[in-house]
Amino acid sequence: MTAPFTQVIHVPPMAGELTGSWFRRMALGYKLPPQDLVRAITGARITGTPRTGIELFLNSPARAAAAAFSGLEYGRLATLLPSFASTHERLTDETVPLAAWYAPQQAWVAACPPCKGRAFSPGQPVLLYPGHSGHICVRHQRWLLPSSVQAASIKLESFPEVTAAHRHHSGLGRVSAQAHLAVIFAAAVVWSWQIQGWRNEEIWNQRTSRLARATGCDRSTVAAHALVTYPETIAVARLLANERWQHRLREQATNAGIPAATGMLLAELARRTNRPWLADWLTACGRLSRRAGKHAAEADLLTRWVTALTTDCRTGPSPPADLWTVPHSAVRPLHYSDRSSFLIDTSPRAATELARNASLAEGWEPAQPLPALHKAPCR
Ligand SMILES: [Zn+2]
């Protein structure tokens, strides 16, 4: 316990919580502004404010002070708070305690209130890093959204296909070490479909309308949200990561060639995504792309994937290292406005602003995370 506090108020950090969220909740307990609490606990010189950055980054001396104050072991804090032991590139001076409020380096969400029990406060939600598939509360059927001032979520009662996809997503993560890469690759595949056939696609149009109703926003605001294509993304990822299917495709390529194996894959994808026309449509799109001069491998990610899976003597149990590589030009855009600009006729900037106000932008995405911060060693 350090000088300015006359009473210890225990506010345990939650697993996966943002360090800044933990400090905000402690400040609430002590009835102090978060900035004053950070200064009192760590003695740090602070850059930014809780208004300018959601996440709080500390250098080593400030981390040691925070651990001493909390009464928890440093390693325990580092386990619970994913960014606690990270050294931000702008906080490399280790001679004096330093702290800074910056943007989180990964997607974050407000935790599901009923799941957080006493840790929940109406004006101060627990903010969490959802990781690969923690963006949905299975128990309460909510898609969790990024809001630092209130618990924000999309109720999923009217999206049974989304909750089903999430079950498969979680299951995929348990059985496949390649799950995360497969989901990123699948997101790029589905994005390539979305920008080619969006306006005529009945299932996505219908889901977009349901999402607009569920959020109280208009269709152009929600069009770029990850929920719209989540079921198809997980369906593609599951199939591509399935080792039995990989084996079947290798056999088909050996016996009948890569186009036949690709056709087999497309037929199964058509079945799993409930789009009987998918194989013909993708084949036609591929022809058009080649006529338009696009590099075939980039224009058709699935053909590229089948080729990588089946070429040469790649018959061992492990998939080739480049199997999940997505060409830069084919990556699903990470930013909401970049996606909106492909999907709507109205201003993507205005749609993104509305989406941000509704906490629909900047949440969980099936995307490549930013490079991990350097982790300081546990003390
Ligand atoms: Zn919950």
Q: What is the pLDDT of residues 248-303, one digit of tens each?
A: 999 999 999 999 999 999 999 999 999 999 888 888 877 777 676 655 545 589 99
Mean per-residue pLDDT over the chain, rounded:
88
What is the per-residue pLDDT for 60? Answer: 94
Decide if pLDDT at 22 tops 60.
yes
Contact, 86 vs 57, CB < 8 A?
yes
Report which secondary-structure segment, H or E, holds 282: helix 278-291
CA of 114 to the centre of ligand 1 (A): 5
From the list 189, 186, 190, 152, the residue with the least C-alpha distance to 168 is: 186
pTM: 0.89
Segment 171-191 shows an average pLDDT of 93
Environment of ion ligand 1 (residues, CB < 5 A): 112, 114-115, 137, 139-140
Distances 99 to 59, 72, 123, 252, 374 between C-alpha atoms, Å:
7, 19, 24, 57, 16
CA of 155 to the centre of ligand 1 (A): 11
Strands 153-155 and 142-144: antiparallel
Segment 29-40 shows an average pLDDT of 94
CA of 117 to the centre of ligand 1 (A): 10
What is the per-residue pLDDT for 62? Answer: 96
Cα 134 from Cα 195, distance rounded (Å)? 27
Contact, 108 vs 101, CB < 8 A?
no
Decide if pLDDT at 378 tops 50.
no
Q: What is the dihedral of CA 156, 368, 302, 163, to 10 degrees?
A: -10
CA of 266 to the centre of ligand 1 (A): 36
CA of 66 to the centre of ligand 1 (A): 29
Query: pLDDT-based confidence at 311, cuts 50/70/90?
Result: confident
* 3 state DSSP class of 23: helix
What is the per-residue pLDDT for 300? Answer: 85
CA of 369 to the centre of ligand 1 (A): 24
Phi, psi of 53 (to 5 degrees): -150, 140
What is the per-residue pLDDT for 198? Answer: 64
What is the per-residue pLDDT for 320? Answer: 76
Decide if pLDDT at 150 tops 90.
no
Where along the chain do its domains lie?
19-105, 160-357
Q: How wide is the angle at C-alpha 89 spanned by C-alphas 83 and 95, nearest 5°?
A: 95
Distances 340 to 147, 154, 352, 358 between C-alpha atoms, Å:
21, 20, 7, 15
CA of 112 to the centre of ligand 1 (A): 5
CA of 122 to the centre of ligand 1 (A): 15
Largest interatomic CA distance in the chain? 77
What is the per-residue pLDDT for 185? Answer: 96
CA of 55 to the centre of ligand 1 (A): 23
Q: What is the dihedral of CA 123, 129, 130, 136, to 10 degrees?
A: 0
User: At residue 262, what is the residue type?
Assistant: T
Decide if pLDDT at 209 tops 80.
yes
Segment 187-213 shows an average pLDDT of 90
Tens-place pLDDT, residues 226-237: 999 999 999 999
Lowest mean pLDDT among 248-252, 310-314, 339-343: 310-314
